[in-house]
């Protein structure tokens, strides 16, 4: 049976094009077309500007204890023209704290993104390209990290190494790099089979050259995606650590502001102007990362797009 097929020679199935450098322009186009992504980028830009110009924007020193013209402590003032968001129970200007608190969040978010993306990319590239024991090691490390509780681990690391921001970044990076490495590894596995890699091999390019010149550029969009994921996680984690009191209490951050409000019975007194703005700022920055990466994720993992 099945002798004659009433079919012309079947066309070769078109393979999805490797996300090489073209992926970056696709990324740019996606950002401009997707309203969510555009909103996310706008939020980032606003907070970056605020963070960079915080000294000029903040009307007061965020730690300074302020007094009223009559000489009394300017404590627990409601929002007004002098203090846009009111003052804390110790007479500190909440708006100034909010503006200055942008910095630690952005620093933590961005450094965690860079750390996760770079560790994940290098390990993923090596494990995927060379396979063997490097690959095995990556897989086992991933399993182990999956067995460590995220927040408790960060708490213990900061408690033991000290409450500096870079220790929080370190702990977050330890917990998040394996995800990135695993995805990049599987990308490298499929890429190594592709024609342009074969072609490079035929022309006699060395293994390292193939890896970093031909394969690496194609996985960078994935590194960027996992970096973007890390931004949100790191900011949330830093805020949680600060709230729990394991952060650097001398540095103003949104987390310490919320901890201060909580410990000073702001909830009890219904001082929403104290604890709402900092929380909303965290929501906005983390949400911005989600909005940017969400559509981009669809772009990189197109299995869910219904263009059938």
Partner 1 sequence: MTELLAVRDLAVAYANGTVHAVDGANLTLRRGGMLGLVGESGCGKTTLARALMGVLPGGARITRGEARLDGTDLVALAPAERRARLWRDLAFVPQTAMSALDPVYRLRDQMREVLCDRGGLSRAEADMRAAELFEAVGLHPRRLADYPHQFSGGMRQRAAIALALALRPKLVIADEPVTALDVIVQRQVLDTFRSLSAELGLSAIIVTHDISVVAYLCDQVAVMYAGRVVEHGPTDAVLEQPSHPYTMGLMNAFPDLESDEAVLAPIEGSPPPLSDPPPGCRFAPRCPFAEAICTREVPPPVTLAPDHWSACHRAPEAAALRQRARDPLTWRDVAEAAA
Partner 2 sequence: MPYLIRRLLHMAFVLWAVATIVFLMFRLMPGDPSAAFIDPTFTVEQQQEIRAQFGLDRPLPEQYLIYLGNLARGEFGLSFRQRQPVIGMVLDVLPNTLLLTLTALLIAYAFGTLLGALMAWNRGGRFEAVSVPLVLTTRAAPEFWVGMVMLAIFAFGLGWLPSGGANTAGAQYTSEWDRILSLDYLRHLALPALTLAIYLQGLPALLMRSSMLEVMQEEFVTMARMKGLSERAIMLRHAARNALLPLVTAFALGFGQSVGGNVVVENVFSWPGLGRLLADAIANSDYPLAQCAFLLIAFVLVLMNFLADLLYGLLDPRVAHGRG
**Site residues (vs partner 1, CB under 8 A):** 1-10, 306, 308
3-class SS letters over 218-250: HHHHHHHHHHHHHHHHHHHHHHHHHHHCCCCCC
Q: Does 262 bind partner 2 (CB under 8 A)?
A: yes
Residue closer to partner 2 (CB basis): 134 or 200: 134
Q: Which stretch binds partner 2 (CB under 8 A): 92-100, 139-147, 175-183, 221-229?
A: 139-147
Neighbours of 133 (CB within 10 A): 9
Q: How far is CA 215 from CA 29, 237, 287, in A?
A: 23, 33, 31
Smallest distance, partner 1 to C-beta of residue 9, A: 8
Which one of partner 2, partner 1, none is in contact with 258 (Cβ closer than 5 to 8 A by kind)? partner 2
Query: Cα(261)–Cα(267) distance, rounded to whole angstroms?
Result: 7
Which one of partner 1, partner 2, none is in contact with 41 (Cβ closer than 5 to 8 A by kind)? none
SS3 39: helix
Q: Could you tell me which residues come within 8 angstroms of residue 130 by beta carbon, excluding any fewer than 6 positions away?
A: none
Q: Does 129 bind partner 2 (CB under 8 A)?
A: no
Which one of partner 2, partner 1, none is in contact with 202 (Cβ closer than 5 to 8 A by kind)? none
Which one of partner 1, partner 2, none is in contact with 10 (Cβ closer than 5 to 8 A by kind)? partner 1
Q: Could you tell me which residues come within 8 angstroms of residue 145 by beta carbon, excluding any fewer than 6 positions away?
A: 174, 175, 178
CA torsion through residues 124, 126, 128, 132, sign: negative
Q: Could you tell me which residues come within 8 angstroms of residue 157 by beta carbon, excluding any fewer than 6 positions away?
A: 167, 170, 171, 174
Which one of partner 2, partner 1, none is in contact with 15 (Cβ closer than 5 to 8 A by kind)? none
**Which residues 214-253 are close enough to bind partner 2 by CB under 8 A?**
232, 236, 239-240, 243-246
Query: Cα(98)–Cα(100) distance, rounded to whole angstroms?
Result: 6
Longest dimension (CA), the chain: 102
Two structure tokens written together for 20:
């090489």
Smallest distance, partner 2 to C-beta of residue 213, A: 35
Smallest distance, partner 1 to C-beta of residue 159, A: 47
Nearest to 115 by CA among 181, 162, 63, 163: 181
Q: Which stretch binds partner 2 (CB under 8 A): 2-10, 107-115, 197-205, 279-287?
A: 279-287
C-alpha 127: how far from chain center: 23
Query: Cα(95)–Cα(169) distance, rounded to whole angstroms?
Result: 26
Residue closer to partner 2 (CB basis): 129 or 274: 274
Nearest to 128 by CA among 190, 172, 173: 190
Q: Does 290 bind partner 2 (CB under 8 A)?
A: yes
**Which residues 149-208 are close enough to bind partner 2 by CB under 8 A?**
149-152, 155-157, 159-161
Q: Does 47 bind partner 2 (CB under 8 A)?
A: no
Residue closer to partner 1 (CB basis): 12 or 160: 12
Among 258, 273, 292, 299, binds partner 2 (CB under 8 A): 258
Among 286, 292, 296, 299, binds partner 2 (CB under 8 A): 286
Q: List contacts with partner 2 (CB under 8 A).
A: 36, 140, 143-144, 146-152, 155-157, 159-161, 232, 236, 239-240, 243-246, 255, 258, 261-262, 266-268, 270, 272, 275-276, 278-279, 282-284, 286-287, 290-291, 294, 303-304, 306, 308
């Amino acid at each position: 049976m099945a002798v004659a097929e009433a079919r012309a020679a079947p066309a070769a199935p078109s393979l999805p094009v490797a996300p090489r450098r073209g992926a970056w322009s696709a990324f740019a186009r996606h950002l401009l077309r997707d309203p969510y992504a555009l909103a996310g980028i706008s939020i980032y830009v606003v907070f970056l500007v605020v963070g960079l110009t915080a000294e000029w924007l903040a009307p007061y020193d965020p730690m300074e204890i302020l007094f009223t013209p009559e000489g009394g402590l300017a404590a627990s003032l409601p929002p007004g023209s002098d203090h846009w968001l009111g003052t804390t129970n110790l007479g500190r200007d909440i708006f100034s704290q909010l503006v200055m608190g942008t910095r630690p969040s952005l620093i933590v978010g961005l450094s965690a993104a860079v750390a996760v993306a770079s560790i994940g990319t290098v390990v993923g590239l090596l494990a995927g390209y060379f396979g063997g024991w490097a690959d095995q090691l990556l897989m086992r490390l991933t399993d182990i990290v999956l067995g460590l509780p995220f927040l408790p681990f960060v708490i213990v690391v900061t408690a033991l190494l000290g409450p500096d921001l870079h220790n929080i970044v370190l702990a977050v990076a330890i917990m998040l790099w394996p995800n990135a490495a695993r995805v990049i590894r599987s990308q490298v596995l499929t890429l190594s089979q592709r024609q342009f890699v074969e072609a490079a091999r035929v022309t006699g390019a060395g293994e390292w050259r193939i890896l970093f010149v031909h394969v690496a550029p194609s996985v960078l969009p994935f590194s960027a995606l996992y970096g973007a994921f890390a931004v949100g996680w790191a900011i949330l984690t830093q805020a949680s650590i600060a709230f729990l009191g394991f952060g650097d209490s001398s540095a103003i951050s949104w987390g310490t502001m919320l901890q201060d409000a909580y410990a000073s019975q702001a909830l009890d007194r219904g001082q929403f102007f104290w604890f709402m703005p900092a929380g909303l700022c965290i929501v906005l920055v983390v949400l911005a990362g989600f909005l940017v990466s969400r559509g981009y994720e669809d772009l990189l993992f197109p299995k869910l797009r219904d263009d059938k």
